[in-house]
Amino acid sequence: MKVKAYSAFDSRNRNHLISKGDGMYGFSYIKESGTVRLFPLLAAVRGYVMRLSLFWRLALGSLTIILVVAGVNVYALLQLRQLTSLSTDLVAYHTPAIESAKRLTSSLYAQLRSEKKFWVLHDEVFLREFDEEAAEFTRNLSTLLQQDPAQEGQQLLGKTQRLYEAYRRLLREATPRPLPRASLPDDRYTSRRDALVDGVADSLDAYVGLHEALMRTVVNESRTRSAQAEAIMRRLVVVAILLGLGLAAVASYSILRPLRRVQDHIRQIGQGKFGETVQVEAPSDLRELVETVNWMGKKLQELDDMKADFLAHISHELRTPLASIREGTHLLLDEIPGPLSPNQRETLQIMQDSSQRLIRLISTLLDLSKIEAGLMQYQIVLTDLAQVAENSVGKVRLLAEGKRIQLLTEAPHERTWVPMDGARIEQVVDNLLSNALKFSPDGACVGLHIEMDRKKNLVLVSVSDTGAGIPSEDLPHIFDRFYQGRTSARSQLAGSGLGLAFAKRVVEAHGGRIWAESEPGKGTTVTFTLPLTQPRSVA
């Protein structure tokens, strides 16, 4: 059974599709759920807002807040004007009317007093006093009549005027000129006069009462109005604050959200996922930034592809001549062309080791390029994992002995059949073991541990050492291509930074997982898992 590895392109495209769907920001989701159909106006407004530039979003948001605040102020001004006009009514109209009416009443009684004095003393001075007061009374009454616009007030003042004139007529008739000596008003006159004077006083009282009642109404009305205005103002202020906050939130959300998406996308580019494009509904001025970032991602992807092509090509071209060199050195070392001096043998041995290393490096490079191009094909068959591990251990045994490193293998007794490409997994174990040996000091201990986890339906393979360990800053990157940590740089150990990158891709293609745990100074354990489920064809 041949299983194709997940290529970097496949995963890129997969992510791209996800991000594209995601990029619609649930707009498509909203469309599907029928919300757009339910609220076409809302959708149109949203569409319009999304087209607005940053400047217009901020300007419109601020303008709306200014309009609301201006509306609140206009309302407050209107209310204030109405309250002012009510108090103007009080000051300019009702209070003077009441005072005038009261003055008229006291003037009426002053006239009555003058009249009574006249009847007692028969001195015409009192009649003149009466006439002067009466002229003043008539003038004030007619002024009041002219100033009072209310019908009720007019009626009361008219009645006052009629009764007052009747009183004057009565007095005139009772005081003919020349006055008869020592005449006294009869009872009929007195009672008629008192009735008229009482009538005038009563109607003036009623007039005062009318204006006092109107004043009370005005005061009550202004109280109610100011209470209403206060309540409405309070609500309007709350609405203005909420609206302001809401608009500020919408404005910043609509600006920050696309920025955050772009930031995430840049982070992904940083992680080497260049090919994806980000689809963001953003304001026009931000859209340029989004397009530039997408363009940058595309360019980086092109460069990455070019690099991969170049590596694949150059590796392929180098492999054949290198193989000839290796074979040639091999022949020379076997002394087929002729015997060798010890110095020659030593030089040839170095050449053979170097060409071997170069060939291994180039093979790994080619394999990685194949995996990333999606061209790697795995021969998945049930293979004994313990046997694969044993082969790997066999390859490094000489090296371990050279460094006096103890190699401990721990595996289940029974055979461990795992569906896998044995050759590729052997390469993975080779890489892990050679790293463990490379980074361990002489006399250290390296362990290979195989464990079946039937519950989780997988097998765990771990290679641990008691070497220098990996600094925590390096740990997240050791599975990246060409990444060589500080440990290897410091110890100047030969390496390519490809071993773990290759291992990760191979293990993941088998549906497994690989990770490293390390404590600087104490050692490192690299573990990978492989699923035990056999593909149908293998079973």
Residues that bind ligand ADP (CB under 6 A): 431, 435-436, 439, 465, 467-470, 474, 478, 483-485, 487-488, 495-501, 524
Nearest distance in Å: CB 375, ligand ADP? 22
Q: How far is the CB of 478 from ligand ADP (least distance, A)?
A: 4
Shortest distance in whole angstroms from residue 448 CB to ligand ADP: 12
Closest distance of CB 361 from ligand ADP, Å: 9
62: CB partners within 8 A, 6+ apart: none
Residue closer to ligand ADP (CB basis): 204 or 478: 478
Which CB, 329 or 524, lies closer to ligand ADP?
A: 524
Among residues 308 and 368, whose Cβ is nearest to ligand ADP?
368
Q: DSSP letter for 476, please.
A: G
Pick 416 or 487: Cβ nearer ligand ADP: 487
Is residue 439 within 8 A of residue 493, CB to CB? The reply is: yes
Nearest distance from C-beta of residue 535 to ligand ADP, angstroms: 29
**DSSP result, 110-128:** HHHHHHHHHHHH--HHHHH
Instruction: Supply the minimum distance, in Å, between the C-beta of residue 447 and ligand ADP.
Output: 12
Separation of alpha carbons 249 and 508, rounded Å: 43
**In the complex, what is the shortest distance from the CB of residue 311 to ligand ADP, in angstroms, rounded to a whole number?**
16
CB of 253 to ligand ADP, least distance (A): 43
Residue type for 209, please? G
- Least separation, in Å, of the C-beta of 435 and ligand ADP? 3
d(CA 321, CA 316): 10
What CA–CA distance (Å, rounded) separates 126 from 402?
151
Interaxial angle between packed helices 284-333 and 342-372, expressed in degrees from 0 to 180 and rounded to the nearest 10: 150
Tell me the CA distances in angstroms from 152 to 90, 156, 210, one per residue in order. Answer: 17, 6, 8
The token pair that represents 44 in the structure block: 């149109």
Residue 476 beta carbon to ligand ADP: minimum distance, rounded to whole angstroms: 11
Q: Which is nearer to ligand ADP, 290 or 470 (CB)?
A: 470
Instruction: Say if strands 523-531 and 514-519 run parallel, antiparallel, or are unpaired.
Output: antiparallel
Which of 19/487 has CB closer to ligand ADP?
A: 487
With respect to ligand ADP, which residue has the nearer C-beta, 75 or 483?
483
Q: Examine residue 149 and say whether the peptide bond preceding it is cis (omega within 30 degrees of 0).
A: no
CB distance 308 to 373 below 8 Å: yes
Task: Determine the distance from the C-alpha atom of residue 463 to the mean position of all C-alpha atoms in its chain, rounded to a whole number.
Answer: 46
Handedness of CA 519, 521, 522, 526 (dihedral sign): positive
CB of 446 closer than 8 Å to CB of 400: yes
The nearest distance, CB 502 to ligand ADP, in angstroms, is 8
Question: Partners of 459 in the beta sheet?
Answer: 452, 530
Instruction: Give 115 or 430: the residue with its C-beta nearer to ligand ADP.
Output: 430
- 3 state SS of 52: coil
Nearer to ligand ADP, 388 or 503 (CB): 503
CA–CA–CA angle 172, 176, 180 (5° rounding): 135
Strand order in the sheet with 514-519: 406-410, 445-453, 458-465, 523-531, 514-519
- The nearer residue to ligand ADP, 278 or 503, going by C-beta atoms, is 503
Question: What's the CA gap between 377 and 309, in Å, rounded?
Answer: 18
- Of 56 and 483, the one with the shorter C-beta distance to ligand ADP is 483
Q: Which is nearer to ligand ADP, 253 or 482 (CB)?
A: 482
**Which helix (DSSP H) or strand (DSSP E) does residue 484 occupy?**
none
Q: Whole-number minimum distance, CB 269 to ligand ADP, in Å?
A: 22
Cα separation, 112 vs 130, whole angstroms: 8
